[in-house]
């Protein structure tokens, strides 16, 4: 019997909310969504107020200084008690000095910066990634009571515009042997795609220590009665990476300024599969292991995102969504930090 030390699964639709931030009224909608989540989790009143203030500041920044700003508020259950994660992404114009932007009192006319110091002070964790000429990604975590919590895996999904259920689903599990991650992209969109993807991920997480090829085969059989989809399974043990994929899940080893793609085989999990194969790679120290669906273009350039691999896993996922995500498809990304 394999002992799972820690697991991570994609949030249910009711545990997250994406909001477009395009006009002054957006801040009130974001604040209301944050307070509703805080009430569900029983946040103390003062902590809920701090979360609401941070969310209002983040939304105000997006409206004033960014293009195509979006905010995600979601419940995170990656730990011994649930908390709330705030994620914002935009399409630019980017920041030159993120460290200065996160200091209280910093303000530079025409750039994102006002209020970020308050978010940094109020959150249990806060990180900002930005490159001039590219988008900005902000991640902040809030718990009912102060805590320090290291995150080694994180996933991010965004449904196609007009849908609530996302057909991209991720999962991860830590065992004594290392960490196993899975991303499944159900065919199409909406509830039926989400059901297929969720069943594929559940099949993998039942025995996360098994070989990746065997886990892909298991998922392939499990979702035979559904729409099917694409699936990728990666295992990381120290610097050794094993990967097996079926269909168009992109798998990448991201190190400083370099990207190495891992091989998948053509097919549709649940419907059509050739011989499923797995491949072994070596990860440089400090690398990030990334799986993403075709809702994120593979054309993103690692050289345009310097130092991204060293950041928090959710920051990496958010930055990739900001850089290469499309609203014409479900988008999903999973990031593992060995």
- What confidence score (pLDDT) does residue 252 get? 98
- What confidence score (pLDDT) does residue 101 get? 62
- What confidence score (pLDDT) does residue 96 get? 62
Distance (Å, whole) CA 84 – CA 141: 6
Distance (Å, whole) CA 76 – CA 85: 6
Question: Is 261:292 a contact under the CB 8 Å cutoff?
Answer: no
Q: Which domains does the chain have, with CATH numbers?
A: 11-142 (3.30.565.10), 153-336 (3.60.40.10)
Per-residue exposure over 232-256, b if at least 16 CB sit within 10 Å of its own CB, e if not: bbbbbeeeebbbbbbbbbbbbbbbe
CB atoms within 10 A of CB 336: 27
Question: Is 324:269 a contact under the CB 8 Å cutoff?
Answer: no
- What confidence score (pLDDT) does residue 159 get? 97
Residues 194-222: pLDDT tens digits? 999 999 999 999 999 999 999 999 999 99
- What confidence score (pLDDT) does residue 224 get? 97
Distance (Å, whole) CA 81 – CA 124: 14
Question: Is 62:71 a contact under the CB 8 Å cutoff?
Answer: yes
Q: Tokens 């004033």 appear where?
A: 64
Q: What is the DSSP string of 90-152?
A: ------S-HHHHTSTT---TTSS-TTHHHHHHHSSEEEEEE-TTS-EEEEEEE-SS-------
- What confidence score (pLDDT) does residue 327 get? 85
Q: Tokens 């604040």 appear where?
A: 31
Question: Is 101:119 a contact under the CB 8 Å cutoff?
Answer: no
Which stretches of the chain score pLDDT less than 50? Answer: 106, 108-113
Distance (Å, whole) CA 215 – CA 171: 13
């Amino acid at each position: 019997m394999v002992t799972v030390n820690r697991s991570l699964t994609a949030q249910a639709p009711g545990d997250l909310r994406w909001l477009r931030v395009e006009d002054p009224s957006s801040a009130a909608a974001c604040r209301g969504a944050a307070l509703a989540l805080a009430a569900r989790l029983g946040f103390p009143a003062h902590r809920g107020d701090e979360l609401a203030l941070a969310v209002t500041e983040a939304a105000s920044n997006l409206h004033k200084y960014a293009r195509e700003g979006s905010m995600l508020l979601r419940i995170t259950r990656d730990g011994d008690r649930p908390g709330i994660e705030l994620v914002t992404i935009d399409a630019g114009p980017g920041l030159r000095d993120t460290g200065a932007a996160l200091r209280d009192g910093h303000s530079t006319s025409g750039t994102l910066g006002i209020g970020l110091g308050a978010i940094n002070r109020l959150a249990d964790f806060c990180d900002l990634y930005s490159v001039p000429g590219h988008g900005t990604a902000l991640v902040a975590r809030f718990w009912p009571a102060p805590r320090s919590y290291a995150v080694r895996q994180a996933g991010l999904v965004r449904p196609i515009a007009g849908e609530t259920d996302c057909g991209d689903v991720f999962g991860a599990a830590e065992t004594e042997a290392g960490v196993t991650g899975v991303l499944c992209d159900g065919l199409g969109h909406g509830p039926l795609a989400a059901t297929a993807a969720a069943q594929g991920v559940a099949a993998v997480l039942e025995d996360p220590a098994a070989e990746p090829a065997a886990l892909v085969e298991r998922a392939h059989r499990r979702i035979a009665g559904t729409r099917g989809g694409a699936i990728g399974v990666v295992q990381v043990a120290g610097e050794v990476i094993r990967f097996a994929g079926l269909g168009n899940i992109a798998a990448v080893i991201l190190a400083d300024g370099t990207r190495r793609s891992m091989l998948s085989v053509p097919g549709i999990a649940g419907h059509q599969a050739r011989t499923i194969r797995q491949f072994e790679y070596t990860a440089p120290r400090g690398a990030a292991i990334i799986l993403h669906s075709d809702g994120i273009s593979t054309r993103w350039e690692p050289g345009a995102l310097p130092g991204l691999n060293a950041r928090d896993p959710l920051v990496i996922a958010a930055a990739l969504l900001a850089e290469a995500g499309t609203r014409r498809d479900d988008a999903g990304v999973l990031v593992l930090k060995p």
